[in-house]
Amino acid sequence: MTEALRIGIAGLGTVGAGVVKILAARGDYLAAACGRPIELVAVSARDKTKDRGIDLGGVRWEDDPMALARADDIDLVAELIGGSEGIARELVEASLKAGKHVVTANKALVAHHGTALARLAEEANVALNYEAAVAGGIPIVKAMREALAGNEIRSIHGILNGTCNYILTEMETTGRDFADVLKDAQELGYAEADPTFDVGGIDAAHKLAILASLAFGTEVDFANVHIEGIEKISATDIAFAREFGFKVKLLAIAEKGDDGIVQRVHPALVPEGTPLAAVSGVYNAVAVDGDRVGHLVLEGRGAGEGPTASAVLSDLVDIARGLVVPPFIVPAAKLKAPAKPLMDAHKSSFYLRLRAVDRAGSMAEITRALAQASVSIERIVQRGEKGRAGGDGSGRLPVVFITHETDEGTMARARAHLAEHEDVAGTPLVIRIEDGELR
């Protein structure tokens, strides 16, 4: 058996403590599986006195996490602090420059600085592994790097945020509205006190930017991800979607267009009976469409101590076995320029919900306005009874249109026109319908 892989861990929150527990429980097995021990040498966190339920006997404590990058007796630094800037970025950059391998669960860091960090890792001939940064315990990064290397990837569709999926699932099963379910999610620990990154789609967008780079060989391009959250989805929308044979999900989608890559995160109507529609609660799923393998779906827990720590350990095992590969499959110097922002050219059918003024002729005026905007209607559903799919007794009737396929620019102009229409109260809600690649 060769010399141990000596590691230092920065951050002893839920994930960091989980990694320590696995190393303690599975140390002998990991040594046999890797052909060398994985030895925890040092840790760093904010509060040395906090009881984390782990045994750190014989492990050096460093008040300054940067000491891990400088230490001669550490081969690998596991950055489990979080955040795209500050100490997390400084530690990763310093560790790579010092010739140390890095394992991180930090999706924001990789999404914002992945290409630059990949260059540092390749210059030092060390690994930069980040399996835990995307979809928790689902081994999607490893699958993209290795198992699917023989495929030209055509598209990725993912449910990448467990908080949003939990909220939408609860809204569907209980009939409650967004704000009510969000409060419960916060009390259960599924949502943060400030849930903006989750419900606003930013967390999913970080993960999507990473997957798009792996899939299409482009530089990591978070800036050009189109992002919408689930804050405006109501119980009314969930009920209408069910009536039409759909479920509402927050999807993260990367796909090849004629002129580049489209990256988008937004609520979508997903056909019932498809794999992604069946993903419920805090679970994540990633559907990959490859030219050789066809349609592949991976599902599992996307967060939490066990799944995320498990993903960190998978990266440690690869490095202990001597596997060092370019972080984004091909060398950073060969990654293509960032994807063009092609969202306006994207085409789909749309779900359009608005509140119409309850007067004779209003529906005729609204449909005429849509026709003038070049939006063709496939179906119209109107509900006037209080308590039935959105009737609220306000004199404003919820009306839903399902459109034929049109492009984003046309739909955006139609929505803006309707928002100023005298027969429409407020700004209409638009949700894309994803029923092509998902079946």
For residue range 45-84, what is the model confidence (pLDDT) as tens digits? 999 888 888 988 889 999 999 999 999 999 999 999 999 9
Which structure tokens are listed for 47? Answer: 């509060």
User: Residue 92's closest CA among 74, 72, 73, 76?
Assistant: 76
For residue range 246-287, what is the model confidence (pLDDT) as tens digits? 999 999 999 987 777 889 999 999 999 999 999 999 999 999
Residues 108 and 82: their CA atoms lie apart, in Å, by 8
For residue range 279-335, what is the model confidence (pLDDT) as tens digits? 999 999 999 999 999 999 999 998 888 899 999 999 999 999 999 999 999 999 999
- The more confident residue out of 272 and 423 is 272
Residues 74 and 88: their CA atoms lie apart, in Å, by 17
Residues 193 and 324: their CA atoms lie apart, in Å, by 38
Residue range(s) occupied by CATH 3.40.50.720 in the chain: 5-133
For residue range 125-147, what is the model confidence (pLDDT) as tens digits? 999 999 999 998 899 999 999 99
| Domain 5-133, CATH number (from 3.40.50.300, 3.90.1170.50, 3.40.50.720, 3.40.50.880) | 3.40.50.720
pLDDT for res 398: 84
Name the most confidently modeled range: 33-47, 49-63, 348-362.
33-47
Side chain identity at residue 268, one-letter code: A
pLDDT for res 203: 95
User: Residue 428's closest CA among 366, 384, 349, 386?
Assistant: 366
| Domain 145-300+339-343, CATH number (from 3.30.360.10, 1.10.3720.10, 3.20.20.220, 3.30.1490.20) | 3.30.360.10
Q: Quote the DSSP letter at residue 77.
A: E
Residue range(s) occupied by CATH 3.30.70.260 in the chain: 346-433
Instruction: Label the pairing between strands 226-227 and 261-271.
Output: parallel
Is the confidence at residue 380, as pLDDT, over 70? yes
pLDDT for res 1: 52
What is the pLDDT confidence band of residue 438, given thresholds at 50, 70 and 90?
A: low
pLDDT for res 40: 96
What percentage of the chain has pLDDT greater than the value 90? 71
pLDDT for res 395: 56
For residue range 182-196, what is the model confidence (pLDDT) as tens digits? 998 888 888 888 899
Residues 373 and 395: their CA atoms lie apart, in Å, by 26
- The more confident residue out of 107 and 365 is 107
* Catalytically active residues, by annotation: 207
Which overall architecture, per CATH, does domain 346-433 show? 2-Layer Sandwich (3.30)
Residues 288 and 90: their CA atoms lie apart, in Å, by 33
Burial of 124 (0-12, 13-18, 19+ CB in 10 A): middle
pLDDT for res 29: 94
Average pLDDT of the chain to the nearest whole number: 90
User: Strand 101-104's sheet: what is its strand order?
Assistant: 60-61, 38-44, 5-10, 76-79, 101-104, 128-129
Contact criterion met (CB below 8 Å) for 104 and 175? no
Residues 427 and 396: their CA atoms lie apart, in Å, by 13
User: Residue 78's closest CA among 109, 112, 111?
Assistant: 109
User: Residue 157's closest CA among 298, 330, 308?
Assistant: 298
Average pLDDT value for residue range 114-124: 97
Name the most confidently modeled range: 167-181, 353-367, 415-429.
167-181
Is the confidence at residue 31, as pLDDT, over 90? yes
What is the pLDDT confidence band of residue 430, given thresholds at 50, 70 and 90?
A: very high
219-223, 369-373, 385-389: least confident range: 385-389
pLDDT for res 388: 42
Residues 177 and 228: their CA atoms lie apart, in Å, by 18
Is the confidence at residue 385, as pLDDT, over 60? no
What is the pLDDT confidence band of residue 386, given thresholds at 50, 70 and 90?
A: very low
Query: For the whole model, what pTM was predicted?
Result: 0.92
Average pLDDT value for residue range 417-434: 87
Long-range own/partner contacts, residues 88-94 (CB < 8 A, 24 or more apart)? 88/10, 89/113, 90/66, 91/10, 91/65, 91/66, 92/117, 92/128, 93/117, 93/120, 94/66, 94/69, 94/70
